[in-house]
Structures are given as C-alpha cells and as structure tokens.
Structure 1
Amino acid sequence: MEERIFHRIAHRYDSESQIQLTEKIAKEMRTRMTPAHRLLDYGCGTGLVGLQFADDVDQLILADAESEMLKIVQQKIVSLDLKNAETMQLNVVEDSLPDIQVDTIIMSLVMLHVPDTQTLLNQLFKLLQPGGQILIADFNQNDKVSHPLIHSGFAHETVKEKMEEVGFNTPSIHTFYQGENLFMNQDASLFLARATKA
C-alpha cells in the first residue's frame, strides 16, 4: 500500500520545501559521519539526501522499494554524470538481502513508513561491515499525528533500545531541527541517530 503511494507521488516529490529539508538532513549527517567509502542510502526516494554525498564516497548505492523513485534517481545520476553511483530496487524487510557489504548506511524519513522497524534495523545491520556506521534521520514522537499507515514519530529511548537490541554499539541521538507543517501538516522536529557495528 505504502509503496503505491510513493509510486503516485514520485514525479512531484522534489518540492522546494522537500529539497530544503533534505539539505538540512544531509548537512547534519555530514557533521556526525566519519569518512565513508561505500555508502548505502536505504529508502533513498528521489535521491535528495544520498546524492549530496556522491563526491564524498568511492561508491554510492541508492536503494528504494519503489521503481518510479529509482527511475528519477537514475535520471539524476546520468545528468550529473556520476560514475560512482548506482540504484538498487530493494525492500530489506520483504526481499532477500543482496550480497553487499557497506561501511555506511544512511536512512532519512524511512522508519516512519515501515511497520516492522525491528526487522528493518536487523536487516540493515547485516549489510553493514564491522566498524561501519548507520545514521538515521526521522521525526520525533508527535502526539498530533495519527495515521493508520505510518508511525507518529519515535521517542529517543525507543530508537536507542531498538538499535541496541539489534546489536548496534553506543547509539547516540539528538534533535537537530524543528519546523512548521513538517509532518502531516503539523509542526514537528527531527532527530538524528548514529551508531556503529563492532
């Protein structure tokens, strides 16, 4: 159901407000990220966050479950003449995992759309090589948001517990941005969580 929604909105996803928000997310991720060589942007959408790291890494993998989103990403890769970027259609909760290992995973505004966040994190953990890092940006818990298909954000302690249960080391999490009408037309704030794999 959720993937069909993204199929419909793919070609109007890159609004000015969305671009501005993803620039803030990428900037915050960059301040917390150690040098990355092989980066996976999981749930990349149209690549608004992940493509901002193309010049920083040796290999950039932009993965999403929705093919229409990936078509747009591929067009951007071609127009930017990026030789180190590739797309991958992937739903780690439902699909077999690809035979890849990366040292960095980023995920932006993805968890709120995934009912089984524990399986999501567990599967991503498997794709991360020892010593690797994961950075997750998403919405803080928001009591004004209620929708049957999405989470209403996440409490910091809940995210930490989920990451530790999977096996991630010393997760840290902080709020970095607050804005108007960010989340289902409600004022909302964003957190960034970072952890490593031993």
Structure 2
Amino acid sequence: MGNTDKFEMIANIYDTSERIQIAKASSDAIREYLVEANSKNAIDFGCGTGLVGMNLLNDFNSMLFLDTSQNMINQIKQKISDFNIQNADTLCFDFEKEGLSDLRADYIFMAQVLLHISDVELVLSKLFDVLNEGGHLLIVDFDKNEKVVSDIVHNGFNQAKLTDIMTKIGYRNIQSKTFYNGSKIFMGHDASMFILDSQK
C-alpha cells in the first residue's frame, strides 16, 4: 500500500496528541453507525498503530488489525501484550499487491487510509469481497481539499463521487457526512473529515 516506507520509519513516534485526538473523533463517529456489533468481527484496515481500533475494541466480538507496515503492526502487538487484550489479532498484508480469499468480516473500517491508496476502486472491490453479506464498510477520510497538492496522497475525496464508485462496485445504503473540522490537520492545511457508511 502507498507510503509503507514512510510509515515504517515513523511507527514508534506516530502516537502524537493530535493524532490521538483525531482518532478519538474518528472512532466516536464510527461508533454511531454500529448495530449490535458486540457479536460481530471487525477489521481495522490500514490500522497504523491502532489508535482508532483500540478505541473500538470493546464494541466488537473480535478485531483484526491489518496494515502493510510491519513496524506499525509491531506497535500494536506491544499494545495487545501490554494491556493483555484477548479479542484482537494482527496481520501484515498489502491488499494492493495480493488478494486474501479466506478473510471475512462483518465490519471493516479505514480511517485516513484511502488517501494513501493509489487504486481506490481496486481496494474497495477487494474489501467488498471480504465483507460478509450485510456487512459494513466505514470510511473516515478528508473531504476534497484543493489547497493540498501532493504526489504521494490524494487531496481528499468528494463524498458524492466516492459514493458513485462504491455503488458501481455493489455497495448499498451508502450515507456520508462531514463530522470534524481541524486546524492544519491535512499536510499543514485546515481541513474537514467525513465518515461514510456502506453495506454489502
């Protein structure tokens, strides 16, 4: 997945107060869309150091932390060990490079992950295959921001266009809203974040 090398380098200093604050806002937003999730299995896709997923551990029966960066996964393994967490597992894997046929989940959430993925449609299609029937994919990311110019990430997403892409793949009951505004949170620029809920 895009920018893995960069994340390998910053894994041990990733949990800044700003990231922790945004992760809390993101997990609170995700929690609003959960239905009887305590019997369900979740994947924190592109989990980083697990800041969002750790906040949601008690909402699910089990959680798989999945990332392309082994150093990020190592940070989560340490947290799982330190806090003696029983309902979590980890997997280092790159969905852009290979498929995973036996992985299944009721909920997949990805927070500030999509902007690092070059082929958005490909990865969203693969995640569709991983979802159980009736399962949910929840996306938290930045709204489209023309001030951000980068050759390594998308400059956010237009919610309507993303909905169109996902509808084409087969997702249904798609709903989205902007839930967070922050100062200098997106590559030095003020930005807003949205949450999108979709169902298979």
| TM-score (norm: length of structure 1) | 0.97
Q: 2:42 aligns with which of 17, 39, 42?
A: 39
2:137 is paired with a residue whose SS is: strand
Identity of aligned residues (%): 33
Amino acid corresponding to residue 22 of structure 1 in structure 2: A
Q: Distance in 2 between matches of 1:155 and 1:145?
A: 14
1:160 is paired with a residue whose SS is: helix
Q: 1:195 aligns with which of 185, 193, 198?
A: 198
The reply to whether residue 8 of structure 1 matches residue 9 of structure 2 is: yes
Q: Distance in 2 between matches of 1:61 and 1:47?
A: 10
Spell out structure 1 runs of 4+ moving beyond 3 A.
none
The reply to whether residue 73 of structure 1 matches residue 111 of structure 2 is: no
> How is 1:88-167 mapped onto 2 (pairs within 5 angstroms)?
88-167=91-170
Shift of the alpha carbon at 1:35? 2.3
Shift of the alpha carbon at 1:92? 1.2
Q: Distance in 1 between matches of 2:152 and 2:193?
A: 19
2:32 is paired with a residue whose SS is: helix
| TM-score (norm: length of structure 2) | 0.96
Greater mean deviation of Cα atoms: 95-104 or 85-94: 95-104
Conserved 8 A contact 1:44-1:50: yes
Conserved 8 A contact 2:99-2:126: no
Conserved 8 A contact 1:101-1:128: yes
The reply to whether residue 50 of structure 1 matches residue 53 of structure 2 is: yes
Shift of the alpha carbon at 1:98? 4.6
1:171 is paired with a residue whose SS is: strand
1:104 is paired with a residue whose SS is: strand
Amino acid corresponding to residue 16 of structure 1 in structure 2: S
Conserved 8 A contact 2:106-2:135: yes
Q: Distance in 2 between matches of 1:4 and 1:105?
A: 24
Greater mean deviation of Cα atoms: 143-152 or 92-101: 92-101
Conserved 8 A contact 1:7-1:66: yes
Conserved 8 A contact 1:164-1:170: no
Greater mean deviation of Cα atoms: 161-170 or 183-192: 161-170
Conserved 8 A contact 2:147-2:189: yes
2:184 is paired with a residue whose SS is: strand
Conserved 8 A contact 2:66-2:92: yes
